[in-house]
Amino acid sequence: MKIFLLIIVILTFLVLLRLILLSFRRSPQPAIANRVSDSDWASGGLSTMEMPRRVNTSGRLSGKVALVTGAGSGIGRAIAIAFAEQGARVALVGRRKLPLDAVAAEIGENAIAIPGDMSKKEDIERVVRETVAHFGHLHVLVNNAAALVAGTAESHSEAEWDETFDTNVKGLWLLSRAALPHMRKAGKGSIVNIGSVVGLVGAKNRVAYCGSKGAVTIMTKAMALDHAHEQIRVNCIAPGIVDTELVAKFVNNAPDPEAMRKQRVALHPLGRFGQPEDIAHAAVYLASDESAWVTGIALPVDGGYTAV
């Protein structure tokens, strides 16, 4: 009899234990503060807090229209091609028509060549009108056109000073001013200014160029603050010495070109000049929605030049 009762007690205990375990399994999980479901994250449907949306990295500029100045060669050409490869339609702007036409032919139907002088107000306003007339929108502006004349405060002529600042500073301002209403209409936009490391740290025998690129750096920050509330981002890339036609001309005109090249390369801890594509990669990032929370920066892409 005792054995029978013991068996009944054990079975009752096991049944109760199983019921307790089942009740724990069925209990709802405690809420986690600010928990975000996969569907909310993907759709961006978050009412209480803003979270970054997942970014589709194929066709990173798909659906965007970009205007790139100085697009016939060097950094501008590389940026225009990289933008097109990532799905953007691109207006190629520069003083020389033939190089622009060559880049447009290389890109294909998603590019249009628009010759213009970025130191002249009437040309600036015209290229923006033609871009919007052809593509319907304007989302991205790359201010890349630049003038570089070597000199000191004493050696520069007034004409050299004016040429440098008219293109590098006044032209950037006028073109940005012309583009902003179209970005505002689109609901957001990105302006990428091509500055220089010498706009951050200075250099010998480049006083006008350094002054103009320093202005580009601080204008970038001021414009970023002015237009952040409109979701128009403004950033600056500060390249080191990049292997372009302009740099080649300066090196080749030196008394000892090989020595000049070695001396300039030595300024970069990574041991080489930059390539136009190095700058283009950064421009794609700043033009894309991947950098949606980035504005007002001066990004050195310089092989370590400014780290020394």
Q: What percent of the chain has pLDDT over 70?
A: 82
Over 90: is that where the pLDDT of 25 sits? no
pLDDT digits (tens, 9 = 90+) for 177-211: 999 999 999 999 999 999 999 999 999 999 999 99
Span 298-302, average pLDDT:
98
Residue 305 catalytic?
Answer: no
Lowest-pLDDT range of 34-48, 117-131, 188-202, 264-278: 34-48
pLDDT digits (tens, 9 = 90+) for 126-159: 999 999 999 999 999 999 999 999 999 999 999 9
Over 50: is that where the pLDDT of 46 sits? no
Integer angstrom CA distances of residue 38 from 11, 13, 32, 55, 93:
45, 42, 14, 14, 43
Over 50: is that where the pLDDT of 249 sits? yes
Set out the domains of the chain in order of their start, with CATH numbers: 59-241+275-302 (3.40.50.720)
Q: Are strands 140-143 and 89-94 parallel, antiparallel or unpaired?
A: unpaired
Span 243-252, average pLDDT:
89
Over 50: is that where the pLDDT of 111 sits? yes
- Mean pLDDT, the chain, rounded, equals 88
Report how far residue 109's alpha carbon sits from residue 12's, in angstroms, rounded to the nearest whole number: 80
Residue 242 is classified by DSSP as B
Alpha-helical (H) ranges within the chain are 2-26, 38-43, 74-85, 97-107, 121-135, 158-165, 171-186, 207-227, 245-252, 257-265, 276-287
Distance of CA 206 to the CA centre of its chain: 26
Active-site residue, from 165, 209, 273, 305? 209
- Return the pLDDT at 250: 83
Task: Write down the pTM of the prediction.
Answer: 0.81
Report how far residue 89's alpha carbon sits from residue 138's, in angstroms, rounded to the nearest whole number: 10
Report how far residue 160's alpha carbon sits from residue 181's, in angstroms, rounded to the nearest whole number: 32
Distance of CA 235 to the CA centre of its chain: 7
Residue 270 is classified by DSSP as T
Q: What percent of the chain has pLDDT over 90?
A: 79
Over 50: is that where the pLDDT of 285 sits? yes
Report how far apart the first and last C-alpha atoms of the chain are (Å, whole number).
92
